[in-house]
């Protein structure tokens, strides 16, 4: 009986030693090769790089988008926080461009052509342009809907009321062969607007050159007419 007890205790001791040795090995192995993903949200890329100074993770910037986080802060990551990953694995992060809600700037008194780039920079579109005859210079913005100062989101569209002149006739400038941005300036100076833009591939022109216009050059048209352009691609 004593012999059986001794054998049983020996087996228990052997199993216990294996169990503890395995746990010690697992703990060392895990700390050496496996990690929990940190929470990078709310940090800047510079702060993340400082945290990862030993290059435990391979940080990849996957993109930047508008979010509720301030500009420059990380608002999303993959894998998510507290996931077990191997040493050296990629962690993708997305950096915030700030809120997609902005305050509509005051456009009153500005020329319609001049504010197009401003609206595009803020991600806003023009839904409707209405004209009314006033003593103001042609294409001067009178008001907008929503009004200046209103909160709008990037991608929203606004309506604009613009000054017109009674029965004003202008001559269509010759734009063929001219670089697109210069063509826009010429249209603006001649009280004309840019209409639809179509891009066409050519074998003989650099990109961005006006190939064709919807209105022939020197034709008399009403001020404010939209001119469609075909531009080399």
155-188 residue pLDDT tens: 899 999 998 876 678 899 999 999 999 999 888 8
Mean pLDDT confidence for 213-218: 93
* Residue-level pLDDT at 150: 92
* Residue-level pLDDT at 211: 94
* Tokens matching residue 135: 């003593």
Average pLDDT across the chain, whole number: 84
**CA 197, CA 8: separation in Å to the nearest integer?**
89
pLDDT of 5 over the 80 cut: no
Q: pLDDT over 70 for what percent of the chain?
A: 85
**CA 76, CA 90: separation in Å to the nearest integer?**
14
**CA 162, CA 173: separation in Å to the nearest integer?**
23
Contact, 184 vs 229, CB < 8 A? Answer: no
Beta-sheet pairing, 210-213 with 226-232: antiparallel
């Amino acid at each position: 009986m004593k012999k059986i007890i001794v054998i049983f205790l020996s087996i228990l001791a052997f199993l216990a030693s294996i169990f503890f040795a395995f746990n010690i090995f697992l703990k060392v192995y895990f700390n050496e090769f496996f990690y929990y993903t940190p929470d990078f949200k709310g940090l800047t890329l510079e702060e993340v790089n400082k945290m990862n100074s030993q290059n435990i993770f391979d940080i990849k910037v996957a993109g930047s988008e508008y979010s509720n986080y301030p500009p420059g802060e990380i608002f999303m990551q993959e894998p998510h926080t507290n996931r077990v990953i191997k040493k050296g694995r990629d962690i993708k992060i997305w950096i915030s461009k700030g809120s997609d809600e902005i305050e509509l700037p005051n456009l009153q008194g500005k020329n319609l052509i001049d504010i197009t780039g401003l609206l595009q920079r803020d991600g806003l579109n023009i839904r409707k342009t209405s004209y009314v005859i006033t003593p103001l210079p042609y294409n001067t913005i009178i008001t907008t809907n929503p009004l200046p100062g209103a909160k709008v989101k990037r991608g929203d569209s606004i309506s604009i009321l613009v000054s017109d002149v009674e029965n004003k006739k202008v001559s269509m400038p010759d734009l063929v062969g001219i670089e697109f941005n210069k063509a826009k300036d010429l249209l603006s100076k001649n009280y004309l607007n840019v209409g639809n833009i179509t891009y066409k591939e050519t074998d003989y022109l650099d990109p961005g050159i006006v190939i064709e216009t919807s209105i022939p050059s020197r034709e008399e048209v009403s001020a404010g007419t939209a001119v469609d352009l075909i531009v080399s691609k």
